[in-house]
Structure 1
């Protein structure tokens, strides 16, 4: 199809009937706006998630925040300034112990605080996806850009390399690329044995301290010298970076590999492992979420976690693997044990989903993966300085299983009215009182990108890309109804005018 790879093409769904909530389980109290993405540039999707949208496969949805029963606030962590907590350190240490064959029953058990539950993509969104799939597939066969109206040709001919240069003017040095390559090469870990089922008589931490003190005594150190050494060691532990903590993880003996494989377009690396990935997904869904095996079809899995509308983009001054949709695979002794589904975008890594082998639940792999993805964001920042954030999807204050996201500090929530990012601490205080609220304290602030000029909205009609102003003259009288005009205005308001001026809204011909 001529030129399609340069454009974002979407269909907007104006109906907003209530459906079952996957969080509070009420039958018809969940409301969202829906949109099918036939294709999306990574820049456009970055803009969409910065306005509260999120994708499940090719279906994009935006919660109707002031109507839905469980408002979902977009949350991001400022990865470059990430401060790891004590409980998060324990998770990395637990993995280190496992890989060194030092994990015991006393420290094998996780806590409620370190368990990640991937419920952003709920079964209810899956129903919406299925409802629109048939229509989207039918329309896809008809979508073809044969020509572009002169008025919008310049707008659509976006030089993405120029765009990235504007956002990220610093050139990437060879040494930075080497740093990233070196960091990625350390993803091979080695461990031979299973967990040792030995119960110590004391807490593991106390035992380690005792062993350390005895060792120092044997070296002839005095009591005051030992106390000084232990004090310095404690201070060192407090200020260790994420990178340093992962370095320790990488000192194990068992082989653990992390492989980043592209899924859109589907790479040969993914194709080789697609069966293992699907089987792992089935095991996770059946064991953790109780989904019957007959509902876990490979087609369903592919639609949600493999197929993506994001177009591959590999600029000269970005990550070597480029931007787009990926699976980060966790291989332990050549066995696939976990998969992180992520989108790598111009400003962030966006976590889409995570699933793992329940056999390894004691390792808190969900939170471990979040820490790993923050680490990856920090590594990619070395070659793409605009890539600074880790997006964790939605935060729902009333949902206990979401609380782990608020502990990824420092984090910000997106104001649902002005679309500015607000520090999470004052936001949480507000959400303690009201489940929906405006987070931006600036009384006079408005959503400037939500002020719609409908004539500027881009339309794809009869295979021609054109502004709405021309579209309405082609459709004439009865065909361009007030209802359709309201629908296009609503679409432009919710995606924002910058996107509405460059994304193509597909309108099918009724003639």
Structure 2
């Protein structure tokens, strides 16, 4: 079957205030919304770098200057990740658990949740609102003709089907360009270590220590021996070394990466178990009513995806697209991470786990695991080096764990450049909405487009917006005669 090399989205012009899932205000949450009938991984990468996120096939972008709880896109620079003491304790705790050495099995991190999209958020109501309309138009997304003026901008396989009226946006994928420009990294196997550059203060401390030992009458060889021993004592293990220790226990923790779009045989075999874990999580952790946590809801939000599968020779072994990373403990499914693997990043969508294992701080553990996975995939495809954690909401306490993944950056909502989170947090303490970019002269360089040239899919024919408007005008005039 020929693969699509284009994206089709249906934009919803309605822009009403609705209930916020974070502060619970009834009508102060505002966002743009669109239904993604189909998305290339390159186009979705571009969308999230403009502040969009997906919830199933529904994509939304908060109207930052209007919404009550501004949601800033956050990413972690995985290759330079610096694990904190508290995060290291969580990995050590998992190691002890798997070795049957965990004495107190009831102590866990409070509020440890990795909710990159909040199922309780009222984006859910928007999803339901537009689902019927999107499904009705789903049969009209095939392309049967391309206007001569734009034939060079879009290359697709034409599909013969009945013509019905529909108008949606079509964006050209840069897949071929990336495929030709991107160098092959299949044989790249360089080890990534967590090296932190020496700081001036650290060098000064070493010099003071050496001078002190000289003053005590120590020889140069004795000083070197003492300093070497001290260095070994202060050695910081890499993230890779810490995870190697995790997987050496008596209990077997196995992670399986299964594709969900399209649903792979591996996923289908375990779909019922995944839903059961999800239902336990939603009812216990979020307090949802059991009758409302349906398998249909679960599939819509966390299984179905508009992302097209793409498996180039120089990409990761499993290819790009939407996946579930399943956590199996002695052949029992205990947690699932919903992720998208994109050209530049792993994008975390959601995470849920069996509440019986809450003491293991699985939310934070999974965040560390996804950083680790990003670093592993980077050895094969060097462009993939970031870990996107969804939205960061400074006013929402349960989002604070994201700010602890260092180094991280927030996306400026006005200029769409990445800003160091340390500087951003101070600004957000003073105002919940902030430009973030300190350069007052900076502008959104990619924000100026010619709407007349935007591609429109109308009656299964691709044309520029200017031609579509011209046809619509003629149609209206004919109806009024």
TM-score interval, smaller chain = 0.7 to 0.9
Which of 304, 308, 315 pairs up with 1:307?
304
User: What is the 5 A alignment of 1:428-507?
Assistant: 428-476=425-473, 479=476
Shift of 1:110: 2.5
Residue-by-residue CA offset, 1:466-504 (whole Å, 9 max, x unaligned): 111211221125759xxxxxxxxxxxxxxxxxxxxxxxx
Shift of 1:142: 2.3
- Show the counterpart of 1:30: 29
1:9 lines up with 2:8 in the alignment = yes
- Show the counterpart of 1:171: 185
> 1:74/1:159 Cα in 2 relative to 1: closer, same or farther (>3 Å)?
closer
Which of 344, 347, 357 pairs up with 1:347?
344
What SS does structure 2 have at the residue aligned with 1:432?
helix
**Contact 2:277-2:353 within 8 A present in 1 as well:** yes
**Contact 1:356-1:365 within 8 A present in 2 as well:** yes
**Contact 1:23-1:70 within 8 A present in 2 as well:** yes
**Contact 1:87-1:114 within 8 A present in 2 as well:** no
1:282 lines up with 2:279 in the alignment = yes
What SS does structure 2 have at the residue aligned with 1:338?
strand
> 1:330/1:425 Cα in 2 relative to 1: closer, same or farther (>3 Å)?
same
- Show the counterpart of 1:261: 258
Residue-by-residue CA offset, 1:395-444 (whole Å, 9 max, x unaligned): 00111111100010000000001111111111111101000010111111
Q: Distance in 1 between matches of 2:471 and 2:227?
A: 82
User: What is the 5 A alignment of 1:292-441?
Assistant: 292-441=289-438
Moved more, 407-416 or 438-447: 438-447
Residue-by-residue CA offset, 1:216-271 (whole Å, 9 max, x unaligned): xxxxxxxxxxx9999556412xx211101101111111121100000001100000
Give the TM-score normalised by structure 2: 0.85
**Contact 2:19-2:122 within 8 A present in 1 as well:** yes
User: What is the 5 A alignment of 1:56-205?
Assistant: 56-105=55-104, 109-112=107-110, 115-157=113-155, 160-166=175-181, 168-173=182-187, 176=189
**Contact 2:259-2:324 within 8 A present in 1 as well:** yes
Q: Please, which runs of 5 or more residues in structure 1 have no aligned partner? A: 181-226, 481-511
Q: Distance in 1 between matches of 2:230 and 2:108?
A: 27
Shift of 1:360: 0.3
Q: Please, which runs of 5 or more residues in structure 2 have no aligned partner? A: 156-172, 193-225
- Show the counterpart of 1:44: 43
Q: Give the CA RMSD over aligned residues.
A: 2.2
Shift of 1:159: 6.6
- Show the counterpart of 1:252: 249
Q: Distance in 2 between matches of 1:325 and 1:371?
A: 19
What SS does structure 1 have at the residue aligned with 2:186?
coil
- Show the counterpart of 2:20: 21
Q: Distance in 2 between matches of 1:141 and 1:467?
A: 21
Q: Distance in 2 between matches of 1:124 and 1:90?
A: 35
Give the TM-score normalised by structure 1: 0.80
What SS does structure 2 have at the residue aligned with 1:422?
strand
Shift of 1:170: 4.5
Q: Distance in 1 between matches of 2:311 and 2:184?
A: 17
Q: Distance in 2 between matches of 1:229 and 1:336?
A: 45
- Runs of 4+ residues deviating >6 angstroms: 227-230
